[in-house]
Amino acid sequence: MRIGGAWRALAVTAALGSLLTTLSACGGAQRGAGDSGVGKPAPTRSAAPTRSAAPVDRTRIPDVGERWQRRIPADSRQVVAVYGAGKDSPDSTVVLYTRHGSTWDPARSWPAHNGRKGWTTDHREGDNRSPVGVFTLSDAGGVLKDPGTRLPYTRSAAFAAPRWWAKSYWHDFDYVIAIDYNRVKGTPPNDPTRPRGEHEGGGIWLHMDHGSGTSACVSVSESAMEYLLRTLDPGRHPVVVMGDRADLKGSH
């Protein structure tokens, strides 16, 4: 019986060692296990050589193909990149890049939402998709007072979301930054003029998030909006590059 018990103990020990090795491979380095020596099997052969990662071209906005790269104005020094999770997804990530000399450096990033039905290169009024493209950022506003933005800022109660909307939407437009899609630059974000006609939609903004997809805008947290408002500078010619990841990477 003692011999059988010893074999069982050895089996349990071996199984535990195998489990610890698996956990370490999944995420041990991030939790500190990679430095502890726990669960590290003794090497039995030389590890296969690994290929070094391709060098990052910092003169370009990452994961944006030539089709959209060439539409970024040469004098732009600030890019708000909106990377949509998928063509039909409302989820996205916003990254602010700043240009120093010839290189683009990421400054901040935030989780975000876009149109509830995803993205389109042919936006139409009411399609609930955000337009893919490169657009300038010229004007800001909202219900709340100017938090210290360098963009022209219009404060007005007229920005307030209708109270017949769900309560989670009531603060969406406390802060907004107009995306210059089918609008007149130099006017408040809520100016209704649509130079290309009503059928192509308009009123596309960066605004505060309510936790789900939008009608066509891009939404981020209040703290993200405050940061963007305080950081975007007309003198640095800010633009937004926005779309689902697949379309942004496309070259045609």
pLDDT tens per residue, range 222-232:
999 999 999 99
What are the DSSP calls for 221-241, one per residue?
-HHHHHHHHHH--GGG--EEE
Separation of alpha carbons 194 and 202, rounded Å: 7
User: At 46, which amino acid appears?
Assistant: S
Task: Quote the CATH superfamily of domain 66-249.
Answer: L,D-transpeptidase catalytic domain-like (2.40.440.10)
Separation of alpha carbons 225 and 210, rounded Å: 13
Give the chain's end-to-end CA distance (angstroms, integer): 74
Beta bridge partners, 100, equal: 103
Q: What is the pLDDT of residues 23-37, one digit of tens each?
A: 232 333 333 333 333
Separation of alpha carbons 247 and 120, rounded Å: 9
Separation of alpha carbons 138 and 239, rounded Å: 9
Separation of alpha carbons 248 and 252, rounded Å: 10
Separation of alpha carbons 190 and 175, rounded Å: 12
Which pLDDT score is estimated for 251? 66
- Res. 57 pLDDT band, cuts 50 70 90: confident
The pTM of this model reads 0.79
pLDDT, greater one: 9 or 190: 190
Q: What is the pLDDT of residues 85-100, one digit of tens each?
A: 999 999 999 999 999 9
Which pLDDT score is estimated for 56? 79
- Res. 50 pLDDT band, cuts 50 70 90: low
